[in-house]
Amino acid sequence: MPGTRATEDAAGSAEAPPVRARGLVKRYKEVLAVDHVDLNVQTGDVYGFLGPNGAGKTTTLRMALGLITPTEGVVDLFGRDPMREGAHALEGVAGFVEAPRFYPYLTGQKNLELLAALDGSGAKERIGEVLQIVELTPRAAHRVGGYSHGMRQRLGIAAALLRRPRLLILDEPATGLDPAGMRDMRSLIRRLADEGITVLLSSHQLPEVQELCDRVAIVDRGRVVYEGALADLRRQGGAGYRLRTTDDARALTIAREQRGIEFPAVGEHGLAFQAEEADVGGLSLALGEAGVGILALTPELATLEDLFFRLTDNDGAGDAGPAHAVAAPTADEARLVETP
């Protein structure tokens, strides 16, 4: 909630966006892991960073946190470059890349005490509170070596919260969790976002992104193929309709003759087509005039999964790139990049 935003006096710049990446490139010898990635995470975003495994998401997040050096380009967190300013650039920033890692021979409590000591700023006093938030208080005195994967994920969130972050960077936070754990992790992230924490969430779990995120970047083979509002992406990704009539064959003929009705086809569940809303009205009138009764007319937005596979070309559908599959978003900030 914008109204609950934390004060910005500790930030590098009050106006600077939480994450701003320009032309990020990471090359490992012959492998181009990240290819000129631009990211714009705005204050208050729950920003999904989507892509198949190996698309370059984690490498990008590592660069954002200053763990690895970009081959080219720059990434700023609240206007500060982690490569130049080191730990200072991570002020107000927390999270983890890949699975959160802890010292297995220390208890959960001791791990947090260690991290709190490295954070300073009274973080130690918040340990009990963050353990309570992730419901690890009963296991705090146990060694992390005996924790389940889900418990370590939750301890990772607790460790991040110790820093009182304004930006939370989470890399696949629900990976490896059981369905209940996934649901609860999403609830927690949603709640943190509602408290005013900007979230940059890397994931390949589309339902998670669809449920949590308002803006997304979709990355494929190291390149951003879409960045913008999730709603714009879904709207632009082919708003379709499904029509059941008293005579689907005749309706198909009429639809083909109507202006603005695209890709009409008869399937198992009636007639499907794509059209603008105004053109659907024209089709309804034409059907009525022709004596074809409309039993049901339902809009069908493309799912994120549909769009994701179109953009990342992961359905093996051929060489039609994302620019062919999805029209450019209308939102000013939305950006569509041609795949090579």
Partner 1 sequence: MSSVSATAASPVRGPAGFKRPATATVYRWELRKLVSQKRTYLGLGLAMILPLIFVVVQSLRTRQDRGGENIFASQITHSGLATPVLMLLFLSVFMLPLIAALVAGDIVAAEDGNGTLKTILTRSVDRGQLFAAKAFAAMTYATIAVFAAAVVATAAGVAAWGFNSVTTYSGTVVSASEGLLLVFASNACYLIPLFAVASLGVLLSTVTRNSAAAVVGTVGITILLFIIGQIPGLEGIRPYLLTEQYENWHGLLRTPTDWAPIAHSAWVSALYAVPALIAGYLVFLRRDVAGG
Applying the rule CB under 8 A, the residues between 167 and 186 that interact with partner 1 are 177-178, 180-181, 183-185
Q: Is 155 exposed, middle or buried (0-12, 13-18, 19+ CB in 10 A)?
A: buried
Coil/strand/helix, residue 48 = strand
| Choice between 75 and 283, CB closer to partner 1 | 75
Length of the chain, please? 340
Q: Which of 25, 32, 74, 133 binds partner 1 (CB under 8 A)?
A: 133
* Interface with partner 1 in residues 33-62 (CB under 8 A): 62
Cβ 51 vs Cβ 57: under 8 Å: yes
* Interface with partner 1 in residues 70-89 (CB under 8 A): 86-88
Which segment (144-152, 219-227, 265-273, 275-283) binds partner 1 by CB under 8 A?
144-152
Which segment (63-71, 207-215, 273-281, 320-328) binds partner 1 by CB under 8 A?
63-71
20 binds partner 1 (CB under 8 A): no
How many chain residues touch partner 1 (CB under 8 A)?
76
The secondary structure of the chain in percent helix, strand, coil, rounded to multiples of 5, reads 40, 25, 35
* Interface with partner 1 in residues 202-241 (CB under 8 A): none
| Choice between 126 and 310, CB closer to partner 1 | 126
Which segment (42-50, 194-202, 261-269, 327-335) binds partner 1 by CB under 8 A?
194-202
H helical segments located in 4-148? 57-64, 82-85, 108-119, 127-133
* Interface with partner 1 in residues 90-129 (CB under 8 A): 90-106, 110, 114-115, 117-123, 126, 129
Distance CA 209, CA 217 (A): 11
- Taking the complex as a whole, the smallest distance from the CB of residue 106 to partner 1 amounts, in Å, to 6
H or E element at residue 181: helix 179-194
Let me know how many helices (H) and strands (E) the chain has, helices first: 12, 14
Distance CA 245, CA 288 (A): 10
263 binds partner 1 (CB under 8 A): no
Q: Which of 54, 72, 84, 135 binds partner 1 (CB under 8 A)?
A: 135
Cβ 154 vs Cβ 111: under 8 Å: no
